[in-house]
Structure 1
């Protein structure tokens, strides 16, 4: 699925500088000012640092000297199985080289990195740091069309109903996974929820999606029941004295729950549900959309509920639903 490129705000507070590091710092400050999520900002910083290290390896220190060939050869270097690792990994000091990569980056990863580079160079053009954006005309690798993995309605029921609701962490997990499936939330959208975002009277939540775009999503009765029980009985036992939190979902230590915690907890429930390998929290979101489509919902409605900016992104679920129908037909029809 095509992701929205991060767009930094045009800077007018500081005089423009054409030094690579300072231009990159200005771009990242723009992302922060535009209220992008911490994960987006950190990932963009890593990808951008990698691009700058590649440019420095070519003795390029000013953004206005970057050419289209530099961008296209950066893309080629990422895809080169024998070649050069274009820069440091997350957490590595800037300027420190890394060993050769044993294999090339996946095409989806290359596309993401080029998306950040394009957004950065467009920011530089708009702020007068460079001439014509040198990334114009540099294509991304063609991605294979993969249908998202979904669970059947029976598998969803098994997954959710097996979660015991006598302990605080179990009540939290049941409420979290019920909510993701009921509302089609991204995992991070659920983790970013604050108490004020839940409206039990109108049976709705306010979710903050990519680019911090807000949308209001209805919540089903079973998810509301699980949420009410968690907030009444489970969450108060997770809140630690002197560590009051506005986030809905808390860890054992009373801090906001992390995505890695969610993946780990979900993995513990998958065996009992007979779920296939590779099932993730995002699978619940895919299942939400597919089950809605199979139930008669139109793509435009599903697009709004998922928070997709483009209907093309949502249309993949039409293919999933058709594939599901063919599979069901072959399994059930006596002469299929």
Structure 2
């Protein structure tokens, strides 16, 4: 909220109550909450200019706001994100009996093109995992992280925040707290276990020095590594491995984990459970990646392709 964009204080209070509820009930991250707040403040500022309030704006009023966003040339993805925040806000307002209806329920979502996850081949994964020098403590850490990421499909945030108490080398599993505070157990496989054990025994103390830390993979300053730092490390090793960095995303090994499991016949619901997806349709997109990869192999190697 700025001096140029005044908002109704009662509506502002409702938005803050909604954000508090989202934090307590759904465990949303600070980044997600900040995004919600930013999007909803834009709505409130527009409503103030057009004499609308949250307790009486109609479906047509919200559709007018959607048209306003189109006129401002917001991308479809941005408008879809804003609509998601608006819908959740009005669901909350309706639930709290601030109003008897939910005008956002009939809003039409912008049609978004289906974006397939960026995919790399098994050979490229091997080259990426072989890029770090295990004789260097920092690169030994990175080697263990990359091996674990490909073996488990963890989100980068889950990986960098992993603590010692959540890793069982003896049982070969990690306990992960994912989105919304949901916990899941994910098997690591022998290769990842071996590299993590090697790092803990040979490299971790060199990074920590006299400091202590709960995180499995500390930074050179003995702190939790940031997602951005890990993304820079991935790109560094991609160059060594001869992989075009345009092919990559921070979650490239998570995507490879899912796609390669499906390529070898894993059940979709098992992959869903391992990835920590609440909705099967989110996992289903990887079947399209796997199919496209099979088509590519077929066209390259079949004599009549």
> Fold match, TM over 0.5?
yes
Which residue of structure 2 lines up, in the alignment, with residue 274 of structure 1?
242
Given the superposition, is the C-alpha separation of residues 252 and 125 from structure 1 closer, same or farther in structure 2, using an over 3 Å criterion?
same
Deviation at 1:330, TM superposition (A): 0.9
Which residue of structure 2 lines up, in the alignment, with residue 310 of structure 1?
279
Query: Counterparts of 1:270 and 1:76 in 2: how far apart (Å)?
Result: 43
Q: Does the 8 A contact of 1:18 with 1:64 survive in 2?
A: no
Which residue of structure 2 lines up, in the alignment, with residue 160 of structure 1?
129
Matched, 1:142 2:76: no
Given the superposition, is the C-alpha separation of residues 176 and 71 from structure 1 closer, same or farther in structure 2, using an over 3 Å criterion?
farther
**Structure 2 residue aligned with 1:252, among 209, 220, 223?**
220
Query: Counterparts of 1:194 and 1:40 in 2: how far apart (Å)?
Result: 23
Given the superposition, is the C-alpha separation of residues 50 and 261 from structure 1 closer, same or farther in structure 2, using an over 3 Å criterion?
farther
Given the superposition, is the C-alpha separation of residues 64 and 315 from structure 1 closer, same or farther in structure 2, using an over 3 Å criterion?
same
Matched, 1:133 2:125: no
Mapping 1:80-95, distance limit 5 Å: 80=71, 83=72
Q: Does the 8 A contact of 2:119 with 2:247 survive in 1?
A: no
Deviation at 1:194, TM superposition (A): 1.6
Deviation at 1:123, TM superposition (A): 0.8
Matched, 1:224 2:190: no
Deviates more, 1:134-143 or 1:265-274: 265-274
**Structure 2 residue aligned with 1:237, among 203, 206, 228?**
206
SS of 1:216's partner is: strand
Deviation at 1:43, TM superposition (A): 2.4
Which residue of structure 2 lines up, in the alignment, with residue 24 of structure 1?
15
SS of 1:135's partner is: helix
Mapping 1:1-336, distance limit 5 Å: 19-34=10-25, 35-60=27-52, 62-80=53-71, 83=72, 104-239=73-208, 244-276=212-244, 277-336=246-305
Which residue of structure 2 lines up, in the alignment, with residue 4 of structure 1?
none
Query: Counterparts of 2:149 and 2:31 in 1: how far apart (Å)?
Result: 19
SS of 1:193's partner is: coil
Query: Counterparts of 2:58 and 2:260 in 1: how far apart (Å)?
Result: 48
Deviation at 1:38, TM superposition (A): 2.7
Given the superposition, is the C-alpha separation of residues 251 and 48 from structure 1 closer, same or farther in structure 2, using an over 3 Å criterion?
farther
Deviation at 1:64, TM superposition (A): 0.6
Q: Does the 8 A contact of 2:277 with 2:283 survive in 1?
A: yes
Q: Does the 8 A contact of 2:120 with 2:247 survive in 1?
A: no
Deviation at 1:156, TM superposition (A): 0.3
| Structure 1 unaligned spans of 5+ | 1-16, 84-103
Normalized against structure 1, the TM-score is what?
0.82
Deviation at 1:146, TM superposition (A): 2.6
Deviation at 1:18, TM superposition (A): 8.3
Query: Counterparts of 2:272 and 2:176 in 1: how far apart (Å)?
Result: 14
More helix by share: 2
Query: Counterparts of 1:241 and 1:124 in 2: how far apart (Å)?
Result: 52
Paired residues in the alignment total: 296
Given the superposition, is the C-alpha separation of residues 20 and 158 from structure 1 closer, same or farther in structure 2, using an over 3 Å criterion?
same
Q: Does the 8 A contact of 1:179 with 1:223 survive in 2?
A: yes
Q: Does the 8 A contact of 2:118 with 2:249 survive in 1?
A: no
